[in-house]
A and B are shown apart, each in its own frame.
Chain A
Amino acid sequence: MSNFKLLKAPFNRENPITVQVLGICSALAVTVQMKPAIVMALSVIVVTAFSNLIISMLRNTIPPRIRIIVQLVVIAALVIIVDQLLKAYVYDVSQKLSVFVGLIITNCILMGRLEAFAMAQKPWPSFLDGIGNGIGYGLILVIVSFFRELLGSGSFYGHKVIPQSFYDAGYIDNGLMILPPMALITIGTIIWVQRSKNRDLIEK
């Protein structure tokens, strides 16, 4: 695969959430509003890109028997650094994300990409693969959080977009959208739309 393809494939045909089905749990948890979802997506992009890069550079020195441990140490260190940076520069967002940044460590996208790609590929393709998968994950997060915030709280990136006259006429925000089950249904809808467009993704 060419380098550009590596970067682009995870946006659609190899999307980590909808096709590889990795990282679903955090996609449910942080998508109530767009702002935390975007910060989470950026954090994951940084962590996937650099963990892929570091592991790929070390790949020939890592003893296979302890490779999972080495991968975890690299991921954990990066996540802690990201968490500390968020606490220092965007404190209010880090309060909202609370435990989820720490849980990037257990996000299956990271381990999945390290095992499947970075352990066997050169650093530059691995770095691109990391960025691509991070963005692919982020895209789904942004789409899901857009619908959940719009229908659940009537706002877009924290700004009210549904006019007061709607509420006066009896419109009510759908409280169900704020709860995790609706995130799962939204993701399900995205998967449905994606597969009806790319028929070859449908398993027999």
Chain B
Amino acid sequence: MFSNRYIFIYSSVMVILVAIALTIVAVLLKPMQEYNQRVEKMQNILISVHIESTPKNAEVLYKKYITESLVVNSKGEVKEGVNAFDLEMQVENKKKSEDKNLPIFICMSEKNEKYYIVPVRGKGLWGPIWGYVSFKEDLNTIVGTRFGHKSETPGLGAEINTPPFQNQFINKTILNNEGSFISVMVVKGGAPDSDMHGVDAISGGTITSKGLEAMVHDCIKEYTVYFSKIRK
């Protein structure tokens, strides 16, 4: 028979040993994991302007095409001393609108066209959704999008990260004829081809679709002032 004393000591020692082992593993592997996350982010930024990359060549392609990155605030002023790539939208979204750091990545394409890429982040049905939206130099027409999600329903909400859904955004515009910001709507039952500000929602994925619409609207809205400055 084992005494209570033995059981207490046994479990304490076991827990401490396991904790030490796990800490060592986590600390040793952290640099590699962070590197992987950075590469994935580069790949996502590149794919939003239709540049395919693999984990191996992502860094090279990123350096080649993404020529500049900057951080602005909602008043449209460029902020110095902040690295756009290292900003976490998760953290920025919790701040008040006027305190937010808004990253912009500028890409020079093969055809020598200048694209502006901005990150977006919002809420889906089960967890966060995020993505990148890229614009042509008029800062109105969408070049491409890339969306991701943590845990949306497979086959329904999770469809937001598939090419058929993402490609609908190509060539849509975020400004109406008067030049004011209206974003791109996700239309239930399908948007007609002529609709310059609408894409089809996902059947059965209404809450994810609506969350995505709100995410694109809310995040790009913050850039309105800076964008209108650049357009002039």
Interface residues of chain B: helix, strand, loop or mixed (majority): helix
Q: Find out whether the CB atom of A88 lies under 8 angstroms from the CB atom of B7.
A: no
- Pick out which of these stretches binds chain A: B10-18, B114-122, B203-211, B215-223: B10-18
Cβ-neighbour of A73 out of B15, B40, B155 (below 8 A): B15
Q: How many contacts A-B (CB < 8 Å)?
A: 54
Q: Find out whether the CB atom of B2 lies under 8 angstroms from the CB atom of A80.
A: no
Q: How far is the CA of A204 from the CA of B37 in the complex (A)?
A: 54
Interface residues of A in 67-118 (CB under 8 A from B): 69-70, 73-74, 77, 80-81, 84-85, 87-89, 91-92, 95, 98-99
Interface residues on B, range: 20 to 34
Q: Find out whether the CB atom of A84 lies under 8 angstroms from the CB atom of B6.
A: no
Q: Find out whether the CB atom of A63 lies under 8 angstroms from the CB atom of B2.
A: yes
Q: Find out whether the CB atom of B6 lies under 8 angstroms from the CB atom of A87.
A: no
Q: Find out whether the CB atom of B11 lies under 8 angstroms from the CB atom of A66.
A: yes
Q: Find out whether the CB atom of A87 lies under 8 angstroms from the CB atom of B33.
A: yes
Q: Which of A80, A84, A85 has the most CB of B within 10 A?
A: A84
Question: B18 — which chain A residues lie within 8 A by C-beta?
Answer: 73-74, 77
Cβ-neighbour of A81 out of B15, B25, B37, B151 (below 8 A): B25
Q: How far is the CA of A41 from the CA of B10 in the complex (A)?
A: 32
Question: What mask results when residues 30 to 41 of chain B are scored 1 for a CB within 8 Å of chain A, else 0?
Answer: 001100110110
Q: Quick check: is B230 within 8 A (CB to CB) of the other chain?
A: no
Q: Find out whether the CB atom of A88 lies under 8 angstroms from the CB atom of B55.
A: no
A63-B7, A65-B7, A179-B155 as given contacts; A70 in contact with B14, CB under 8 Å: yes
Cβ-neighbour of A63 out of B10, B36, B40 (below 8 A): B10
Question: A74 — which chain B residues lie within 8 A by C-beta?
Answer: 18
Interface residues on A, range: 20 to 34
Q: How far is the CA of A89 from the CA of B32 in the complex (A)?
A: 8
Q: Find out whether the CB atom of B6 lies under 8 angstroms from the CB atom of A91.
A: no
Q: How far is the CA of A69 from the CA of B26 in the complex (A)?
A: 23
Name which residue of chain A comes closest to B39, CB basis. Answer: A91
A5 to chain B, nearest CB (A): 32
A121 to chain B, nearest CB (A): 20
Q: How far is the CA of A65 from the CA of B6 in the complex (A)?
A: 11
Q: Quick check: is A165 within 8 A (CB to CB) of the other chain?
A: no
B148 to chain A, nearest CB (A): 9
Question: A65 — which chain B residues lie within 8 A by C-beta?
Answer: 2, 7
Q: How far is the CA of A80 from the CA of B2 in the complex (A)?
A: 30
Q: Quick check: is A61 within 8 A (CB to CB) of the other chain?
A: yes
Q: Find out whether the CB atom of A84 lies under 8 angstroms from the CB atom of B26.
A: yes
A61 to chain B, nearest CB (A): 7
Q: Which of A62, A65, A87, A95 has the most CB of B within 10 A?
A: A87
Q: Quick check: is B21 within 8 A (CB to CB) of the other chain?
A: yes
Q: Find out whether the CB atom of B40 lies under 8 angstroms from the CB atom of A91.
A: yes
A114 to chain B, nearest CB (A): 15
Q: Find out whether the CB atom of A88 lies under 8 angstroms from the CB atom of B22.
A: no
5 A–B pairs (Cβ distance < 8 Å), ordered by A? A63-B7, A66-B11, A73-B15, A88-B36, A91-B39
A interface with B by C-beta (< 8 Å): 61-66, 69-70, 73-74, 77, 80-81, 84-85, 87-89, 91-92, 95, 98-99, 178-179
Shortest beta-carbon contacts, A-B, top 10: A91-B36, A63-B2, A88-B32, A88-B29, A77-B18, A63-B7, A87-B33, A84-B29, A88-B33, A81-B25
